[in-house]
Structure 1
């Protein structure tokens, strides 16, 4: 962790913002097996930023930029409640369809914070930094696997493979790349951390 990033984290604590997971997006579960679920998410609003680098460096850089927006770096100088998870996804020409996320790619990433419930393009203040973009995400259906501990590359790879096996076994159709969602700030003890790998899947034909 860089000194600047550490200073940001300390600052968040001093302002009472240590609890990242004050709000999480609602979802419904249509299938649950052990650590696997199929979820339906409603439409969401996100603030997102494109960054480059390896997964860890990109997550830190994106977090700093988005934290700047929600802690007053906007046209209204308004503080916006932070939600969970933080999302990091590979930068691709496909719509992002889930909660704050992260998915493997070629060094280009999109880091996203989900905006609080009821947020719209009309009622959110505009970011001061042009790199931060506000975006509406349509309703989505996701296959998800939960895991705890540190989200190390080997753990992410193993959980991604397991989730892909679940998707295949349930005869689901993936429509986007896997993504990593992380729910806890970096000072959380490793064994208490909540992580998920998510894969967007096609809508249920029965719905």
Structure 2
């Protein structure tokens, strides 16, 4: 029942001023832009349910491993053998000491229907609370050094405006690996206190 409540709240948060809830036909978390300056935005997200894994290694290797584990879950690696629709973005966050958390947001319809239990114990289903975030979108195929530099610049920008970031950063990738660099959407963001 709690899953249904989360879907209802997320759907309400996605109405009235919410950004488009899809990218290239894939569902994405709904949010409302509270403020914007260029490519940087302060957003309010509703609650959501994610499937996530913690993977040790460098950023690129960890996201590849994490993506494979999560794809296994949504493509039938669960107790019902159910297929679950892919969503965007694929998120990753540095947990420190070489551990990365990789996550897929679960589609609202699948949450409402009841998510199957993952067969792989490394895949964890988790409820994410509503959150405010500061986010910067950009194109290209950034490496880890570029991502870290963008995160540092975004943190400094947010703090200069009196926004207090919490943890992070979270890196988000919206497009398939074969998408040309100029057509890709990537984001770096921080949860705000």
- For Structure 1 versus Structure 2, the TM-score category normalised by the shorter chain is 0.7 to 0.9
1:83 corresponds to: 87
Q: Count residues with an aligned counterpart.
A: 171
Three-state SS of the structure 2 residue aligned to 1:175 is strand
- CA-based RMSD of the aligned residues comes to 1.7
Instruction: Note if contact 1:21-1:184 (Cα within 8 Å) is conserved in structure 2.
Output: no
Rounded to whole Å, the distance in 1 between the matches of 2:41 and 2:176 is 24
TM-score norm. by structure 2 comes to 0.84
Correspondence for 2:167: 176
Match of 2:184 in 1: 193
| Aligned CA distance change for structure 1 residues 115 and 20 (closer, same or farther; 3 Å) | farther
Secondary structure, aligned partner of 2:150: helix
Residues 180 and 198, structure 1, Cα contact 8 Å, conserved in 2: yes
Q: 1 or 2, which has the higher strand percentage?
A: 2
The 2-side partners of 1:193 and 1:28 are apart by: 22
What is the DSSP-based 3-state SS (H/G/I as helix, E as strand, rest coil) of the residue aligned with 1:167? helix
Q: Distance in 2 between matches of 1:55 and 1:121?
A: 32
Selected match of 2:129 from 138, 148, 155: 138
Structure 1: which 5+ runs fail to align? 1-18, 92-104, 203-207
1:121, 1:134 within 8 Å by CA — same for their partners in 2?
no
Answer whether contact 1:39 1:144 (CA < 8 A) is retained: yes
**TM-score normalised over the length of structure 1:** 0.78
- Tell whether 2:65 aligns with 1:61: yes
- Call closer, same or farther: CA 1:173–1:119 in 2, change over 3 Å: farther
User: Which residue of structure 2 lines up, in the alignment, with residue 154 of structure 1?
Assistant: 145
Runs of 4+ in 1 over 3 A off after TM superposition: 118-122
- Residues 69-148 of structure 1: pairs in structure 2 closer than 5 A: 69-91=73-95, 105-120=96-111, 123-148=114-139
Provide Cα deviations, 1:176-196, integer angstroms capped at 9, x if missing partner.
221111111111111211111
Q: Describe the shift of the 1:180–1:21 C-alpha distance in structure 2 as closer, same or farther (beyond 3 A).
A: farther
> Which residue pairs with 2:49 in the alignment?
45
